[in-house]
Each structure stands twice: as C-alpha cells, then as structure tokens.
Structure 1
C-alpha cells in the first residue's frame, strides 16, 4: 500500500527528453514547451529575444532513433545524450 506522500516508480520516457514539468518552460505567446537541455541552450542564447526567437513546435523525435529536435522561428535545435543540445 502506498501512502499519499510516496511516489510509485515508473519507467522513464525515451522521447522527447526524459524531463519533468519542472524542467520545462513556455514562452508566451507560444504554447509550446521548451524542456531539458534544449531549454538550457535556448535560455543561454537569449530565449525568445535571441536569434532562435519563439518555438514553432514541440520537441519531437529526430528520426534517427536517438535524438530529438525542436523547431524555433530562427532555427532548429537537436538534442541527443551523446551530443547534448546544439543548433543545426
């Protein structure tokens, strides 16, 4: 029996990044969340005021079976555990 203060162990998601809502942020007026290492890179580049501007979509599988991508008005960010996040 699990008490109200205990969490049940669940498998971690594989895509997009295994992140919790606490590591995601939205940037109004865009409704799309930016998360994890993509968020870290995005904020280091100035967030919506930087060259990437606002997110155009949510983080999605990159198609290579490993990484994820998120498209912004000013470019695309790729993330994988091996490379971290970088602008493509």
Structure 2
C-alpha cells in the first residue's frame, strides 16, 4: 500500500509541479494579510475563495495550525460557523 501512495504522490507532483502544499499556501496567504485584518474571526467561505479549494480540505490544515471552530447561535436556532486564529483564541473565552 505504501508504494501505491508514493506512486500517487509522484503523479500529483508531475501534474501540478509548482503547486505548494495547502498548509504552505494558507500560511503564505494569511501572512500576506495586514495585521489588523488577521486578528478577527474568519468564515470558511473566505478561505475557500482565497485558496481555491473546498472547506473539507482546509479544515484539517486549520486545526493542525491551532485554529478553533466556533459557532454564533441565533434566536431561531440557526447558527453561523466561523474560525478563530490561534492568537485570538487564546485571548478570548
């Protein structure tokens, strides 16, 4: 199975030679934002548009980097999901 995975990785690298891993893409994008913009909650849609991929691929990267998922509940039972950066997650309850 390991040889199969390595072969798949080689195929991906051959088809997308200049494409950096998603974690590096995210860190480059987030690092390019002004500091005042970085210290706020983000919606997944912002990440999806910036990185050009789906949230199901971005979520594991965010969790690995220490981001936290939060929800803002409404009076009708609906909620809005958002992501909090590690620095902001430590300062707010």
TM-score, normalisation: structure 2: 0.25
Which structure has the highest strand share of the two? 1
Query: Is the helix fraction higher in 1 or 2?
Result: 2
Whose relative contact order is higher, 1 or 2, with alpha carbons under 8 Å and at least 6 apart? 2
Considering only CA atoms, is the larger Rg found in Structure 1 or Structure 2?
Answer: 2
